[in-house]
Structure 1
């Protein structure tokens, strides 16, 4: 029995405005509270974010992953604090709770450090160690066909750091600035930040430094 079927006896109620790729409308406070307590736990990779026009809050374009289920993309409208917004930039992975009766109804949140499997991209680049990455493959994952967000690619990279004894490979799903599309060809070199030798959870590409060296 999957998480969806196990929790199918309830459904968060609230206004829905999303259809055909449009952002799902913000949930009422009561619905968000219920969802935080009873929704199916997952993670969401932030693919794009921008302020709502003339209204409080932001539109988030995220790729949602739930254990045992196929990942999917959705745009939602949600208000978050300025502190949380700092950790919800493109490429960051945050927590989410999903309505089992409607996978496009979800609430995003920044998990506590102890339960988060990913470090914020900004923090990696400001506080992390440095390495050089060689592009092994670059595969498109998603793109905003309205032309307002950067394309999202799956990058397989081989990293080399002066203070590590051997190279290691990582896989990232990350937005790539349009100006950097030519920098992710097979064999291209990128500058990255990292905290640990892992599969990519603590790795971020420094696009500014990579373009300067290119």
Structure 2
């Protein structure tokens, strides 16, 4: 944490670890979590790796597939890193649940959908990189965003080119404050 290179990690998948993870000052060896992440460091190409670590339950709400979190990377071993949630004043990204509950509504047209990862246990939903064009009644012009988000298996047919999705957003940006509302898009609301 002190000497690592600062970066960001997109959570591609996660599961509870079956092995004990020892943290600083912790000798109990409580189970942790195994994360599959895509790591981005300024000036370098992104790469995928696995991370096993323990996190507080409060942090787990912010570290779900599709979320982008901070990380510190060992400069001598890029596969050795620690994930963490930034403090509220540092954070530039809101959680998907927060965006969906409090955000403004928009119509999103699918421009491209690329599978990024699947839950490696084979039981979860795949993660997609979505290029979308958003339109909102209170914004003068449409804008394009790119986001990485988990797509429920029941909604896979909705990510085809030209399909319309229900979305929520806080502000016009490149996708940091945008989330697709899969329940609304499937007509489950």
Query: Does structure 1 residue 200 correspond to structure 2 residue 175?
Result: yes
- TM-score in terms of structure 1 length: 0.77
Q: Deviations over 1:63-82 (max 9, x none)?
A: 11000111011121111111
Q: Which residue of 2 aligns with 1:37?
A: 2
Q: 2:111 aligns with which of 119, 136, 142?
A: 136
Whole-angstrom distance in 2 between the partners of 1:41 and 1:207: 32
Q: 2:94 aligns with which of 96, 101, 119?
A: 119
Q: Which has the higher helix share?
A: 1
Whole-angstrom distance in 2 between the partners of 1:150 and 1:158: 23
Q: Deviations over 1:156-207 (max 9, x none)?
A: 1111112212211111122222221111001111111110000101001111
Write the mapping of 1:9-158 to structure 2, written as runs, cut at 5 A: 36-53=1-18, 55=20, 56-144=31-119, 147-158=122-133
After TM superposition, give the deviation of residue 58 of structure 1 in Å.
1.2
After TM superposition, give the deviation of residue 49 of structure 1 in Å.
1.8
Unaligned ranges ≥5, structure 2 = 21-30
Q: Confirm or deny: 8 A CA contact 2:12 2:116 kept in the other structure.
A: no
Unaligned ranges ≥5, structure 1 = 1-35
State the 4+ residue runs in structure 1 displaced beyond 4 angstroms.
Answer: none
Q: Deviations over 1:79-114 (max 9, x none)?
A: 111111111111111100001111110000001233
Q: Which has the higher strand share?
A: 2
Q: Deviations over 1:97-134 (max 9, x none)?
A: 00111111000000123322311111111111111101
Q: Aligned-pair RMSD on alpha carbons?
A: 1.7
